[in-house]
Structure 1
Amino acid sequence: MARALDVHHYIGHLIRRAEQVHTALWSQHVSREITSQQFAVLNALSRQPGVDQRTLARLTSLDRSTVNQMVRRLTDQGHVSQLRDTADRRRTLLELTATGSDLLAALIPPAEAINAQILQMLPEEQRAVTLDSLRRIALLGDETTGDA
């Protein structure tokens, strides 16, 4: 018989559970229509308008096929516009529409609130260390996929 592990001591299980908590809070308090990944796309386009999908994928740490589907959906909903790059006709540049900008502005306050709510679950002296640890884990993912 195989030895069973207590998964509550394994980082992958705990990260997955933490993501489930975040997703539930997002759906409850931020949006049922716009996912946190779509929010990341909108936010990245607000910070760097006029990027192509490859750059957007890198900025959001999402794979290109996922970004492609999200951009298509957000474009169909009128939140993102696609413009042909005049310098390189093969590239399509992305920008938020006025509707997309308004949507992002409406989503930011509740997104900040659930971020604060999750951080408040930790003792104050552990918050910065926890964020730093999660950033380090995320950067490790960039190194292993060659996106660094």
Structure 2
Amino acid sequence: MARALELPNYIGHLIRRAEQVHTALWAQHVSREITSPKFAILNALSRDPGMDQRTLARLTSLDRSTVNQMIRRLTDQHLVSQVRDEADRRRTLLSLTAEGEDLLDSLIAPAERINELLLGSLPEGERALAVDILSRLASLDDEALHDGA
């Protein structure tokens, strides 16, 4: 008989479960149409308009093909505009449209409430520590992952 793991003791399982909880709360309280990754794209473009897709992918920790698909959808929805970079015609620069800015504005408060709800499930003294731990885990890059193998 194969040995079975106690999944509730494994960080990967817990991270996946936490993501499921976040996704369900997001759909219930923020938006079913604008997912958390799409929100990340809109938010990044609001903070730094005129960036290219490669930069956007890096800043949002999304792969370039996913960003490409999302940008197409967001452009079709008139939330994001694309213009050719005059200095480098191979690059397309992205910005929020006025409609995109309005939508993002309407999503900020509910997104903050989800963050507060999730962090509020922890004792106050552990909230900053939880954010720090998750930030460190999220910052592991491919090189660090391969060095540990």
Length-normalised TM-score, structure 2: 0.95
Q: For structure 1, which runs of at least 5 residues remain unmatched after alignment?
A: none
Q: Please report how far the alpha carbon of residue 141 of structure 1 lies from its aligned counterpart in structure 2 after TM superposition.
A: 3.4
CA distance in 2, matches of 1:41, 1:66: 11
Quote the residue 1:42 is aligned against: 42
How far off is 1:65 after superposition? 0.1
Distance 1:143 1:43 in 2: 28
AA matched with 2:64: R
Separation in 2, partners of 1:59, 1:145: 19
Name the CA shift for 1:65/1:105 in 2 (closer, same or farther; >3 Å): same
Give the number of equivalent residue pairs.
Answer: 146
Which ranges of structure 2 fall in alignment gaps of 5 or more residues?
none
What letter corresponds to residue 41 of structure 1 in structure 2? I
> Are the structure 2 counterparts of residues 143 and 45 from structure 1 closer, same or farther at C-alpha, using a change threshold of 3 Å?
farther
Residues 82-135 of structure 1, C-alpha deviation per residue, up to 9 Å, x if partnerless? 000000011000000000000000000000001000000000000000000000
Q: Quick one: distance in 1 between partners of 2:142 and 2:22? A: 22
**Cα displacement (A) at 1:144:** 4.2
- Going from structure 1 to structure 2, the CA distance change for 1:9 and 1:130 (only over 3 Å counts) comes to same
The letter for the 1-side match of 2:66 is T
Aligned equivalents of 2:117, 2:127: Cα separation in 1: 12
Matched with 1:115 is 115
Flag as ranges the 4+ runs of structure 1 deviating above 6 A. none
Aligned residue in 1 for 2:71: 71
